[in-house]
């Protein structure tokens, strides 16, 4: 058992793995961020033209097909295990497993190189929803002369579903697959908290190591806003960008002329490791997680107050990290690109950081790839870690006209990332999460 009087242990990031619209290699992702190259293109996932859907462009992971080559360079035994498991993985789970394998390879962690009892996983996700193809055969069997008979579903339609169908969509499956494939026997958890899932997963992994319950944790999230059922929800409840825009110019966080969010998909993980453990094996260090904050604020009608929630979470993360506002190098914002969302986020930054909130550079990487759902936070976290490593803060794409209602300093590509940053995420329901990270 850990000593309750002992000082918290330091926690560093030693590996990064991403599957996002900018690519699945860290070098490719950084190349796009550093050069201002967008990953938002015409949407191929949905039948936009034939169905007249308002999602003409999106951040799609076109490079990710689910082929075993997408999971990185693997030993034959692990290749065999992943191939066997693919039949019970939906696309989000496949991307999560791939991101984890890429992160572990980046960290230099292989089978037998660490104590499996001291290694664990925390993975976040959106709600995982079935794709229509899963129901097609059953629906056909219950349909006669164009009419679907609901009374036949239980006896005729259901037996057309694959017996392992449910396993593909359980939100705890990404963490389960990652742990089984790598024989990680330590703490394991799954979080479903929409866009805050990434920060909350990394935050839980951080505290798990800090209190001595593990030495190594894989943490991150996977998500989508462009598979059919999730896309319908985004179209019904989200504020989508003007569909007449050029795809690469559609997402305009904090710009006065922003029109809404762009939907996307992706996954990302980081390897968190206790500092002395990482140092002993000669691991490279991207940065050190020093604080985490979260807050949920909603009224009696369950309408989220994102401004108050973010201000609370920022303040909590700064306290946890013992980091003064004036020492924050940059902020990696939620930056959804919606009118009210960006305005409330900017107000929260100014409230929580005081005078520093007006001058600290703020970047939003959703301008490169859209809203990846639960995965957004960790992919954006990876972007800031790479910014620290390379000494360059990616600009917020498409930021041309400052919005006086925001009153913050939006990154233009000319500012330094500094030696520390805050990663902000928030949901429409008023759940906010913030990570504080310093250079390694």
Token pair belonging to 42 = 């015409």
Interior angle at CA 157, CA 226 and CA 225, nearest 5: 5
CATH number at residue 178: 3.40.47.10
Phi, psi at 180, each rounded to 5°: -65, -45
Number of domains in the chain: 2
Residues 182 and 157: their CA atoms lie apart, in Å, by 38
CA gyration radius for the chain?
21
End-to-end CA distance of the chain: 28
Residues 232 and 168: their CA atoms lie apart, in Å, by 20
* Cβ(90)–Cβ(277) below 8 Å: no
159 & 266 share domain: no
Residue 251 included in any domain: yes
Which pLDDT score, from 0 to 100, does residue 162 have?
85
| Last residue in a domain, options 118, 149, 168 | 168
Which pLDDT score, from 0 to 100, does residue 52 have?
67
206 & 81 share domain: yes
Residue 2 included in any domain: no
| Last residue in a domain, options 116, 150, 168 | 168
207 & 90 share domain: yes
178 & 163 share domain: no
Secondary structure class of 128 (helix, strand, coil): coil
312 & 349 share domain: yes
29 & 153 share domain: no
Residue 257 included in any domain: yes
Torsion of CA 301, 306, 308, 309, to 10 degrees: 90
206 & 63 share domain: yes
pLDDT in tens, the chain (440 residues): 446 567 789 999 999 999 999 999 999 999 999 999 999 999 988 776 656 677 899 999 999 999 999 999 999 999 999 999 999 999 999 999 999 999 999 999 998 999 999 999 999 999 888 888 888 999 999 999 889 999 999 998 988 988 888 889 999 999 999 999 999 999 999 999 999 999 999 999 999 999 999 999 999 999 999 988 888 888 877 888 999 999 999 999 999 999 999 999 999 999 999 999 999 999 999 999 999 999 999 999 989 999 999 999 999 999 999 999 999 999 999 999 999 999 999 999 999 999 999 999 999 999 999 999 999 999 999 999 999 999 999 999 999 999 999 999 999 999 999 999 999 999 999 999 999 999 98
Residue 85 included in any domain: yes
158 & 203 share domain: no
| E strand intervals along 133-280 | 143-144, 147-148, 188-191, 216-224, 265-274
Residue 323's nearest CA partner among 331, 171, 334 is 331
Residue 238's nearest CA partner among 297, 192, 295, 195 is 195
Residues 14 and 22: their CA atoms lie apart, in Å, by 21
| Last residue in a domain, options 110, 143, 168 | 168
Residue 6 included in any domain: no
Task: Report in angstroms the alpha-carbon separations of 124 from 9, 92, 180, 192, 372.
Answer: 24, 11, 17, 6, 12
Secondary structure class of 308 (helix, strand, coil): helix
159 & 24 share domain: no
Task: Report in angstroms the alpha-carbon separations of 312 from 8, 226, 309, 333, 420.
Answer: 23, 31, 5, 15, 19
224 & 336 share domain: yes
Domain with 89, as residue range(s), is 11-129+169-439
242 & 101 share domain: yes
Residue 423 included in any domain: yes
18 & 148 share domain: no
Residue 102 included in any domain: yes
Q: Which residues pair with 144 in a beta bridge?
A: 147
Which pLDDT score, from 0 to 100, does residue 229 have?
82
């Amino acid at each position: 058992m850990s000593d309750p009087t002992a000082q918290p242990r330091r926690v560093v990031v030693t590996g990064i793995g991403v599957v996002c619209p900018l690519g699945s290699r860290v070098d490719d992702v950084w190349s796009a961020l550093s050069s201002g190259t967008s990953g938002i293109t015409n949407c191929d996932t949905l039948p936009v033209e034939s169905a007249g859907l308002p999602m003409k462009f999106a951040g799609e992971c076109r490079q990710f097909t689910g082929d075993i080559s997408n999971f990185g360079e693997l030993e034959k035994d692990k290749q065999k295990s992943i191939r066997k498991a693919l039949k019970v993985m939906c696309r989000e789970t496949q991307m999560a497993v791939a991101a984890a394998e890429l992160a572990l390879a980046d960290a230099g962690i292989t089978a037998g190189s660490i104590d499996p009892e001291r290694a664990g996983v925390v993975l976040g996700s959106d709600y995982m929803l079935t794709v229509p193809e899963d129901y097609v055969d059953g629906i056909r069997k219950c349909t006669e002369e164009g009419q679907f008979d609901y009374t036949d579903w239980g006896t005729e339609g259901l037996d057309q579903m694959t017996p392992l169908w449910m396993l593909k969509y359980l939100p705890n499956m990404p963490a389960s697959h990652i742990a089984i494939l790598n024989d990680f026997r330590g703490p394991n958890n799954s979080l479903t908290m929409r866009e805050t899932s990434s920060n909350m997963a990394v935050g839980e992994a951080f505290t798990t190591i800090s209190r001595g319950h593990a030495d190594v944790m894989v943490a991150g999230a996977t998500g989508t806003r462009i598979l059919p059922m999730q896309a319908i929800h985004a179209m019904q409840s989200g504020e989508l960008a003007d569909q007449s825009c050029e795809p690469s110019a559609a997402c305009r966080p904090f710009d006065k002329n922003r029109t809404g969010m762009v939907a996307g998909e992706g996954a990302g993980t980081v390897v968190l490791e206790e500092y002395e453990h990482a140092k002993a094996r000669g691991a490279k260090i991207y940065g050190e997680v020093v604080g985490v904050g979260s807050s949920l604020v909603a009224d009696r009608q369950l309408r989220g107050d994102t401004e108050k929630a973010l201000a609370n979470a920022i303040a909590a993360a700064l306290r946890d990290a013992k980091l003064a506002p004036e020492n924050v190098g940059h902020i990696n914002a939620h930056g959804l690109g919606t009118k009210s969302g960006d305005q409330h986020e900017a107000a929260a930054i100014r409230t929580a950081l005081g005078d520093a909130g007006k001058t600290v550079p703020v970047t939003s990487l959703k301008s490169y790839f859209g809203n990846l759902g639960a995965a957004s936070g960790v992919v954006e976290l990876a972007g800031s870690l790479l910014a620290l490593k390379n000494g360059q803060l990616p600009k917020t794409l498409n930021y041309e006209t400052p919005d006086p209602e925001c009153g913050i300093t939006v990154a233009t590509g000319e500012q330094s990332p500094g030696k520390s940053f805050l990663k902000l995420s928030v949901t429409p329901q008023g759940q906010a999460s913030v990570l504080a990270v310093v250079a390694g």
